[in-house]
Chains A and B, each alone.
Chain A
Amino acid sequence: MALSLDESAVVRDGSPALPSAAALELRAVEKRYPGQRRPALAALSLLVPAGEVCVLVGPSGSGKTTAMRLINRMIPLSGGDILIGGRSILDSTPTELRRQIGYVIQQVGLFPHHTVRQNIATVPRLLGWERRRIDARVDELLELVGLDHDELGRRYPSQLSGGQQQRVGVARALAADPPLLLMDEPFGAIDPINRTRLQDEFLRLQERVRKTVVFVTHDIDEAIKMGDRIAVLREGGHLAQFATPAELLSSPADQFVADFVGADRALKRLGLVRLADVELDPPDQWPQPDERLPLDTTAREALARMLSAGGAPLGVADEHGSVVGIVTIALIGRLFSRVEDGRPPESRRGPPPEPNR
């Protein structure tokens, strides 16, 4: 499946070949809204390597949406420049540009009068693809976002749940295989349980499509979970820190970032460590525990599970179900103090596996 996606990134008729992901560079970007004294964004510079997820996080009004809308020219730049794959966004017309950038917004904005399939086909149709190619692409995307069942494609948006609507929103944004994806609080209106599910799904999807993604959120936990790199914005659009999640948690640049990240940042760092990357106690050292955690469980979640299990150690099982180690509160405690010292735990970020269905 991933293969065929990569192919479709190369096969193009007419339009110039797009890479499946492109680096994004913001150079001293400035935005002043007419009639406002203070700029909404002042000299923002960012470099997002191709295929990475960059999260813009910050309190409400800090200019996250503004930054995003500047990139696809929904609003004009007041100063600076933005480059996608080395080309200035000012070199193409806004409509041309936008057709090459996926755009997902919080309220989804699906067309109520179009079916799911028609919604997903929007940009390919604007680009004048031929019918069969569009149909094939829509099938592929429905499969990609897990909506390829129950005739969901023929439904209208009003017949979908909120989570399904946002999946369609993501599929629609990916339809023409754009090298860059902009997502403005995409899961902000979804209940916590489904938000987690959508986040996991998106990370798995990103593993396959490897787009350059700009992801806006005001939720630091979501930022840490989703981002390869996080840009923390402060009121007035000032960049407070631009760092990997681990760096952000271990060494916040200033008091603002420290406050924003939260007093429990050490605990949050545990959320970046997976049991697979931790030296577990050998299985024979403890009596066989009843409960088993998968290897990709984060240290933070393991701690929570143990606490709710009365502090008892838990087994850790690999994908075949055989116990490969034991996790204890003491073990997490040692990990925690290392984290507190600011030494980054060796973490290998990756998408969570398919949940058991």
Chain B
Amino acid sequence: MNHVLLASAAPIIPKSLLGNPDSYACERANRLFCWGWLSRNWGSVLWPALRQHVVITLIAVGLGFAIASSLAVLAHRYRRVEQPVVVVTTIFYTIPALALFEILVAVPGFGLSLTTAETALVSYTLLIIFRNTLTGLREVPADVREAAAGMGMSRWQVLARVELPLALPAIIAGVRIATVSTIALATIAALIVNEGLGVPILTAISESTFKTELIAAGVLAVALAVAADALLVGLQRLMTPWARAT
């Protein structure tokens, strides 16, 4: 299938860049980008890396969302919760990725594992999702909240039926940012677990002369981020029909 895809793309790409899928001339000549390599290695290298990258991201954003939005709901209810959560998540957010990965690796029970990678990635999503969710909940107009309570909704009913739906645009905006930055950051997780689009990037770096793998993986990571973002925008439009009404 990939052969078909690439063949159809072939006519618009200059011959010199293309090379023959069955010959290694392009690689030997160390060209910028070798389509031949791509078609030969898509199934064995890039596609699995992409799939792993998606899974890593889904787990990180999913867990991050569960933790951060619960904390935000708690902080919305009990103001005291806000300050400590902000302090801790800001520190996580501030620590450079490479450092956080290495520090976590040293923590007993973590080591070079998927848990370590996910823990670091989750910790980067917390601040943004927490902040956006809390802001969204707090920006629900006071009169709407007053009316909801005045009609006899319990606190949880106000939260579930009024505040959370109205905070959705802000919450999803936070999830979008968290998702896109997690996809970018997850390439560094390859230092710790042999998974994701970071693997071909690191391989290419260590081989130092060959660029196709690097470019392909980098472009895939950006494309994945753009696609995920578009998906979330679509989700938001679907979930907030009132926001489009004029």
Chain A residue numbers with a CB within 8 Å of B147 are 103, 105, 108-111, 169
Chain A residue numbers with a CB within 8 Å of B152 are 94-100, 123, 126
Among A151-159, A281-289, A316-324, the one that faces the other chain is A151-159
Q: Does B45 contact A (CB under 8 A)?
A: no
Expressed in whole angstroms, the Cα–Cα distance for A108 and B245 within the complex equals 19
Chain B residue numbers with a CB within 8 Å of A108 are 143, 147
Q: Give 1 or 0 for each of B130-143: 1 = CB within 8 Å of chain A CB.
A: 00000000000111
Among candidates A72, A74, A159, A172, residue contacting B245 with C-beta atoms closer than 8 Å: A159
Interface of B is mostly: helix
Among candidates B150, B166, B245, residue contacting A158 with C-beta atoms closer than 8 Å: B245
Q: Does A113 contact B (CB under 8 A)?
A: yes
Give B166's nearest chain A residue, CB to CB. Answer: A113
Min Cβ gap A21→B in Å is 19
Given contacts A113-B166, A113-B242, A159-B245, contact A107 B150 (CB under 8 A): no
Given contacts A95-B152, A95-B154, contact A109 B245 (CB under 8 A): no
Chain A residue numbers with a CB within 8 Å of B141 are 107, 109, 112
Closest A-B pairs by Cβ, 10 of them: A109-B147, A107-B143, A99-B152, A98-B152, A103-B150, A109-B143, A156-B245, A95-B152, A156-B242, A113-B242
Min Cβ gap A162→B in Å is 13
B149 lies within 8 A of A113 (CB): no
Give A169's nearest chain B residue, CB to CB. Answer: B147
Chain A residue numbers with a CB within 8 Å of B166 are 111-113
Q: Told that A74-B146, A112-B242, A156-B242 touch, could you supply 6 new A-B pairs with CB distance under 8 A?
A: A95-B153, A96-B152, A99-B151, A99-B152, A107-B143, A126-B151
Q: Does B148 contact A (CB under 8 A)?
A: yes
Among candidates A74, A100, A182, residue contacting B149 with C-beta atoms closer than 8 Å: A74
Given contacts A155-B245, A156-B245, A158-B246, contact A111 B144 (CB under 8 A): yes
Min Cβ gap A172→B in Å is 8
Chain B residue numbers with a CB within 8 Å of A95 are 152-154
A72 lies within 8 A of B150 (CB): yes
Q: Does A347 contact B (CB under 8 A)?
A: no
Among candidates B146, B151, B162, B245, residue contacting A123 with C-beta atoms closer than 8 Å: B151
Q: Does B240 contact A (CB under 8 A)?
A: yes
Expressed in whole angstroms, the Cα–Cα distance for A103 and B147 within the complex equals 7
Contact-size category for B: 20 to 34
Q: Does A122 contact B (CB under 8 A)?
A: yes
B162 lies within 8 A of A74 (CB): no
Question: Which residues of A are interface residues toward B (Cβ below 8 A)?
Answer: 72, 74, 94-100, 103, 105-114, 122-123, 126, 155-156, 158-159, 169, 172, 182
Expressed in whole angstroms, the Cα–Cα distance for A215 and B166 within the complex equals 30
Q: Give 1 or 0 for each of B152-170: 1 = CB within 8 Å of chain A CB.
A: 1110010000100110000
Chain B residue numbers with a CB within 8 Å of A107 are 141-143, 146
Min Cβ gap A123→B in Å is 5
A105 lies within 8 A of B150 (CB): yes
Among candidates A98, A111, A169, A172, residue contacting B162 with C-beta atoms closer than 8 Å: A111
B246 lies within 8 A of A122 (CB): no
Q: Give 1 or 0 for each of B70-86: 1 = CB within 8 Å of chain A CB.
A: 00000000000000000
Expressed in whole angstroms, the Cα–Cα distance for A112 and B161 within the complex equals 12
Min Cβ gap B153→A in Å is 7
A109 lies within 8 A of B157 (CB): no
B143 lies within 8 A of A113 (CB): no
Expressed in whole angstroms, the Cα–Cα distance for A190 and B143 within the complex equals 16
Expressed in whole angstroms, the Cα–Cα distance for A107 and B142 within the complex equals 9
29 pairs from A and B in contact (CB 8 Å cutoff): A95-B152, A95-B153, A96-B152, A97-B152, A98-B150, A99-B151, A103-B147, A103-B150, A105-B146, A106-B143, A107-B141, A107-B142, A108-B147, A109-B145, A111-B147, A111-B162, A111-B166, A112-B144, A112-B242, A113-B165, A113-B166, A113-B240, A123-B152, A126-B151, A126-B152, A158-B242, A158-B246, A169-B147, A182-B150
Given contacts A111-B144, A113-B165, contact A122 B242 (CB under 8 A): no
Chain B residue numbers with a CB within 8 Å of A110 are 144, 147
B246 lies within 8 A of A105 (CB): no
Name the residue in A111, A123, A126, A182 with the highest tally of chain B Cβ atoms < 10 Å from its Cβ. A111
Name the residue in A97, A98, A103, A109 with the highest tally of chain B Cβ atoms < 10 Å from its Cβ. A109
- In B171-229, which residues have CB < 8 Å from any A CB? none
Min Cβ gap B231→A in Å is 22
Given contacts A126-B157, A156-B242, contact A109 B165 (CB under 8 A): no
